[in-house]
Amino acid sequence: MRLDVEAAKADIEQSIDLLRRRLDWEPALRKLDELNARVEDPTLWDRPDEAQAVSRERSRLAASVEAVQGLERDLADALGYAEMADEEADEAALEEARGQLKAIKDRAARAELEALLSGEADANDAFVEINSGAGGTESCDWAGMLLRMYTRWANAHGMSVEILEETDGDQAGIKSATLQVTGPNAYGWLKTEGGVHRLVRISPFDAAAKRHTSFASVWVYPVVDDTIVIDINPADVRTDTYRASGSGGQHVNKTDSAVRLTHIPTGIAVACQAGRSQHQNREEAWKMLRARLYEAELQRREAAAQALEDQKTDIGWGHQIRSYVLQPYQMVKDLRTDVETSDTDGVLDGDLDAFMGAALAQRVGATRDA
């Protein structure tokens, strides 16, 4: 068999072996059998909360096992096809086999990254807050571009996005927005995006067509379910209501339905205006506040992550995690991992996997040889 095919085979087999070890393969299979038996027990559904937790655990483990088994099946099929093509000296078929092996290798690489998502809340949905920073109208427009970028990333990965709060900029873009991203491992992936994002471009708002630098911050925290108890003293929380702004129809602009909660001891504030009533927004805001406080606790316990206060920096020079340069050249570069690309349009359309993967591997201190 050709050397390039053998090399691809070796790489994929190494990935599969690593995935098996990280999954603790044999115990994982036994655990999956146990979970399957529990899900099939009709009495389990007499306890809805427990049933949902068991079902979620089973689905996640089954997906991990199937990912490995699928790679093994597809590798065997591709190698068989390549061997047949080699024996028949069919270059077209051999090239097709190479393409199959590359696709399997890419899947294996992503599965390796998925295996790193083993943090306490990595599998959860995520809240994403975007705030414009230094730069006025420019930064509001940049914040709006980031909102679009993360929405497109989520949609490309089969996740749904709901905007919970949005405050329009005075002339363009947004001053702030909070969205909920719902999908497998949403928080695990998006947590790598927290920080300040810097844009350099020719301003569309400057008649002199000068180059401008804009900043916006991204803050990510997990959606917590009812199985995670976060005790908050109501006396420590200030509640403000106000008239909602931004898109939302006639009702949202006529009543003081928007709710902002501020946790006084920590200064953490959340806001929601997506619901039609103050009651709905208050309930959602409390969920967001519990999630923010839970994420703060995760930050304190996660040795590989930055300390919480280190992430709450000024939205401006010296604090950015990634630079997006559109003029005088085109380049997006992550300042933590040095990953870069000249495909700025692709990145702004949501092609963020390379940046997320590198940041995730660095964050957990994992490498291929770990």
> What was the pLDDT predicted at 305?
41
Phi, psi (rounded to 5 degrees) for 237: -120, 125
Query: Residue 303 pLDDT more than 80?
Result: no
183 three-state secondary structure: coil
State the Cα–Cα distance between residues 54 and 267, nearest whole angstrom. 36
State the Cα–Cα distance between residues 38 and 32, nearest whole angstrom. 10
End-to-end C-alpha distance for the chain, whole angstroms: 30
Fold for 122-370, please state it: Alpha-Beta Plaits (3.30.70)
Q: Could you tell me the CATH superfamily of domain 3-115?
A: Release factor (1.20.58.410)
176-202 average pLDDT score: 92
Cα torsion 81, 83, 88, 93: sign: positive
Report percent pLDDT > 70 for the chain. Answer: 86
Per the prediction, the chain carries an average pLDDT of 84
Instruction: Answer with the residue of higher pLDDT: 310 or 260.
Output: 260
Domain with CATH 1.20.58.410 in the chain: 3-115
> What was the pLDDT predicted at 38?
92
> What was the pLDDT predicted at 255?
66
State the Cα–Cα distance between residues 68 and 22, nearest whole angstrom. 11
67-92 average pLDDT score: 91
